[in-house]
Chains A and B, each alone.
Chain A
């Protein structure tokens, strides 16, 4: 068996084990309607998929995550590059990043709702907010970590300042940027659920909240499993991306 098949098999067995333990715990230990076995949850999930309701919620949440995430990255990468490259910019903007990164996006939900209402804008703002600072910090750290000899070598080959930046500093920073984006993606999942719990018309967070209101315990678990699987899948995609782009950038990643 090759290592890829072994990994897939390992994951499948791992997940199966998780559900097995869950089933045993619900049937033999907890024995409460508040903690259903995975089977009714899967049944309920199937119904929700057949009705198209689950896809709707998943797509509503994912769309917000992707939009906010791309917006946040698009803002964060250039700022991170500027902070890492120019000392005055660093001195000017570091207080900002050091200040805002301690104000969690979850705490900004109220402000976001006041400013943008409970529609898409407030969600995208929050995801972008939570993404920006992680990406800025990772990118700036990446620029700072570019080996001195890499830059000197380029200078000795005749590179001007712009060429040093575009052909050396930028590509050398790509693995750091991707790693920052991966961390930001995990934050985005936390943020979107919190935001949709508080104020939203659709999405997985809203689904969780409604299910609680109407005591649809299975629905809660369907939403939780969906979040777990979505996060897992997104992270896998990112790891593949990092390996594809960064594998040859940095063999240690």
Chain B
């Protein structure tokens, strides 16, 4: 039994203009502690897969299980880091944002503060706890989101293109930080991206999706390189080329 199991999962959206099959017969097992990147072109259904695992959408066919229990809705066992930073609470300080999940469980103020400060340190924002999100840069806001999800101590982390809106430099820095954090705590991660380099830099396995509609898993590539990863090494380049070839067929299917 896998830690996470997606078993013949399909999702068909029904709208006024008819039905759209976003995901078809999606099968995947994740082991505990792995960092799985789901890579695909836009519109391939990768975000739909994440939304179903997060419990925001119910699959129209198949079943999703976390540690054997079927996923029926959103819950604290699956922390989510969203692409945009709209999900942060503007009226709370960075520290209170991070401690939000702890507050929901009526943890005492002192304990909450101690945990929040620990995670502020972890994401490199020591001393920034009193600031509000409007005072922080895009990269800092994504750090807060990661800290907020981790402070709640979920069983796994779901990340939907969390660095997609950042500039290339900030993105590379945050990828490095995320890799370091993951190496330390080994949370199971499902990371959605359309960036091949990002996938190869972070993942223990990369799943490449077929084009939509009816997106499904095309191939899974294990990336057996040590962390931190050397992006200019020959081994990294080889991985990049391998994944690139798979995704290239989806971008240019008629060549």
In Å, the complex CA distance between A62 and B79 comes to 51
- Taking a contact as CB atoms under 8 Å apart, the answer to whether A152 and B80 are in contact is yes
Q: Across the interface, which residues of A come within 8 angstroms of B75, CB to CB?
A: 155-156, 158
In Å, the complex CA distance between A156 and B74 comes to 5
Given contacts A156-B80, A157-B104, contact A149 B91 (CB under 8 A): no
* 14 CB < 8 A contacts A-B: A149-B86, A150-B86, A152-B82, A153-B82, A155-B55, A156-B74, A156-B80, A157-B148, A158-B76, A171-B91, A172-B89, A248-B91, A250-B90, A251-B90
Interface string of B70-102 (1 = CB under 8 A from A): 000111101110101011111100000000110
Q: Which 10 A-B pairs have the closest CB atoms?
A: A158-B76, A157-B101, A149-B87, A251-B134, A155-B74, A153-B87, A147-B86, A156-B80, A249-B91, A149-B82
Q: Which residue of A lies closest to B80 (CB)?
A: A156
Report if A211 contacts B (CB, 8 A).
no
Binding site for B on A (CB under 8 A): 147, 149-150, 152-159, 163, 167-168, 171-172, 174, 248-251
Report if B56 contacts A (CB, 8 A).
yes
In Å, the complex CA distance between A155 and B101 comes to 9
- Taking a contact as CB atoms under 8 Å apart, the answer to whether A149 and B90 are in contact is no
Q: Which residue of B lies closest to A159 (CB)?
A: B104
Report if B54 contacts A (CB, 8 A).
yes
Q: Across the interface, which residues of B come within 8 angstroms of A172, CB to CB?
A: 89-91
Given contacts A171-B91, A172-B91, contact A158 B86 (CB under 8 A): no
Binding site for A on B (CB under 8 A): 54-56, 73-76, 78-80, 82, 84, 86-91, 100-101, 103-105, 132, 134, 148-149, 152, 154
Give the interface SS of chain B, mostly helix, strand, loop or mixed: loop
Given contacts A171-B91, A251-B134, contact A156 B86 (CB under 8 A): no
Q: Across the interface, which residues of B come within 8 angstroms of A251, CB to CB?
A: 90, 134
Given contacts A158-B76, A248-B90, A248-B132, contact A149 B104 (CB under 8 A): no
From A147, A157, A249, give the contact of B100 (CB < 8 A). Answer: A157
B229 to chain A, nearest CB (A): 29
- Taking a contact as CB atoms under 8 Å apart, the answer to whether B134 and A153 are in contact is no
In Å, the complex CA distance between A171 and B88 comes to 13
Q: Across the interface, which residues of A come within 8 angstroms of B91, CB to CB?
A: 171-172, 174, 248-249
Q: Which residue of B lies closest to A146 (CB)?
A: B86
- Taking a contact as CB atoms under 8 Å apart, the answer to whether B134 and A248 are in contact is yes
A156 to chain B, nearest CB (A): 4
Given contacts A157-B148, A248-B90, A249-B91, contact A152 B54 (CB under 8 A): yes
Q: Across the interface, which residues of B come within 8 angstroms of A158, CB to CB?
A: 75-76, 101, 104-105, 152
In Å, the complex CA distance between A168 and B103 comes to 13
Q: Which residue of B lies closest to A247 (CB)?
A: B134
Q: Which residue of A lies closest to B134 (CB)?
A: A251
- Taking a contact as CB atoms under 8 Å apart, the answer to whether A168 and B89 are in contact is yes
In Å, the complex CA distance between A151 and B65 comes to 23
Q: A150-B89, A153-B87, A168-B89 are in contact. List 5 more A-B contacts (CB 8 A).
A: A150-B88, A156-B76, A158-B76, A167-B100, A174-B91
- Taking a contact as CB atoms under 8 Å apart, the answer to whether A150 and B87 are in contact is yes
Q: Across the interface, which residues of A come within 8 angstroms of B86, CB to CB?
A: 147, 149-150
Q: Across the interface, which residues of A come within 8 angstroms of B154, CB to CB?
A: 156
Q: Across the interface, which residues of A come within 8 angstroms of B149, CB to CB?
A: 156-157
A180 to chain B, nearest CB (A): 18
